Amino acid sequence: SDLDLLTRQARFAEKRSETLRNYNLVENIEELGYALKKELDYTAEAQNIDRFRRSYGDTPTLRLPEVYWEYTTKRVIVMDDIVGIPFTDLDRMEQEGYDLSAIATVVCDFYMRQIFEDGFFHADPHPANLMVSGQQVAVLDFGMVAFISQRMRDDLSDMFVTVFTQ
């Protein structure tokens, strides 16, 4: 209902202001609504977690939650409770003796592998969705994921090679 209200208000504003029409308010709100609805389907998020666990579950530097499917529905997801230090608290990580450079390497390796090898990546990597848990980097919130075509991966690879060699 909130999205419907926002959409109606955006249509109203766009009809009355050429400046606001240039911002494509209705289109942006519809895209936001699509993303929100997709992220709120917990069975889709649970499937994303399982896919990442299949691809990266053997990686000793990563920790991914396990989904308990017998309790998971479209509106509820039940998974491991991962305790750690969120990336939003770098001071605490340093105080507890973590090597921030090594942690950054783990995260970069993880994302490079997602993008360049798998073509399937965690699309919401802000600091609140990453934490250190013991000697591992834990990744949380798999509601937003995306795919990259082989062509795009090839183009990105070419771009990186060009940047590093020139």
Q: Which whole-number Å values give the CA distances from 42 to 83, 136, 164, in the listed order?
A: 21, 25, 40
**What are the catalytic residues?**
124
Provide the H-helix boundaries in the chain.
2-16, 18-21, 25-39, 42-56, 90-95, 100-113, 150-165
Kindly report the backbone phi and psi dihedral angles of residue 121, in degrees, each rounded to the nearest multiple of 5, phi listed first.
Answer: -140, 155
Indicate the SS3 state at residue 82.
Answer: coil
Give me the helix-helix angle, 2-16 and 25-39, nearest 10°.
170
Phi-psi region of 133 (alpha: psi -120 to 50; beta: other; left: phi over 0): beta
Distance CA(14)–CA(26), nearest Å, equals 8
